[in-house]
Amino acid sequence: MSDPILSVRDLERRYASFIGCTKVSFDVWPGEVVAIVGESGSGKTTLLNCISGRLERSSGSIRYRMRDNRFPDLAELSEAERRFLMRTDWGFVHQSPAEGLRMRVSAGANVGERLMAVGERHYGRIRETASEWLQRVEISPDRIDDQPVAFSGGMRQRLQIARNLVTHPRLIFMDEPTGGLDVSVQAKVLDLLRGLVTDMSLAVVIVTHDLAVARLLSQRIIVMKNGRIVETGLTDRVLDDPRHAYTQLLVASIPES
């Protein structure tokens, strides 16, 4: 467990002359949840998209520990390998479930798609697995044949989580997973996520502007401003004893409850 699963070094992404993120270096260890926080426009999402291979980087390196313990830079992998990684070993939970789900395909098929993509060709087994996963994310298996368009926001988000976890990935990227949900539903989704992350000892990189989400889920925090990391450390330490002026401002801006 002493080797990082993901290692980012001097990552930079420019949009023409404008900086998306720069000089970003950090490691993620297996089973660890890392939160990237910062205000809108601080480069969080750019960073997440770069390391998850959805956006091309301008320079720097991103290495990932494969299941066979190789540690290649993602740029060394062929497109086929990268895409295979994305639908087996990785997951990506979008802020808007419509981006991560097939809205006009039944819940069961949404969960089963990754299984079929890796070659499962037995309808009964796919359905059984899909039904188990729906139960794990607290969706009634009766709704296995309903389309996500008929689901509430919270259910869609939970379905998206199930769809990502069905192949037992090792690394999950999340972009504001509780973004559009109301507070009680948010709490439920977070609770579920926390349980699953611990059960499956997932490594997670989660982007959020909500420090409460970061405190609840993550062990470590990375604070970003203007595309740069300004502070990083254990979540409790950073939130209770912020050192950088910007982090102090962020923490101070949470209304007292």
Of 86 and 185, nearer to another protein (C-beta) is 86
Shortest reach from residue 130's CB to another protein, in Å:
9
Q: What one-character-per-residue DSSP string does 234-256 give?
A: EHHHHHHS--SHHHHHHHHTSPP
Q: Output the smallest distance, CB 47 to another protein, in A.
A: 24
- Other CB atoms within 10 A of residue 177 CB: 27
The SS3 call for residue 57 is coil
Q: How far is the CB of 142 from another protein (least distance, A)?
A: 13
**Least CB distance from residue 170 to another protein, whole Å?**
20
**Sites of contact with another protein (CB under 8 A):** 79-80, 83, 87, 102, 105-106, 108-109, 112-114, 116-118, 121-124, 126-127, 144-145
Cβ-based nearer residue to another protein, 2 or 78: 78
Residue 227 C-beta-side C-alpha neighbours within 13 Å: 14
Q: Which is nearer to another protein, 23 or 83 (CB)?
A: 83
250 close to 242: Cβ distance less than 8 angstroms: yes
User: Smallest distance from the beta carbon of 141 to another protein, in angstroms?
Assistant: 13
User: Of 136 and 143, which has the nearer Cβ to another protein?
Assistant: 143
Report the residue number, 88 or 219, with the smaller CB distance to another protein: 88
As measured in angstroms, the least distance from the Cβ of 146 to another protein is 10
Whole-angstrom Cα distance, residue 11 to residue 22?
Answer: 6
Closest CA to 47 of 229, 204, 219: 229
Give the residue with the Cβ less far from another protein, 116 or 200.
116
Q: How far is CA 59 from CA 49, 181, 199, 218, 240, in A?
A: 14, 35, 36, 27, 34
Contact 46, 23 (CB under 8 A): no
Strand blocks (E) in 67-202: 90-93, 171-175
- The helix (run of H) or strand (run of E) holding residue 90 is strand 90-93
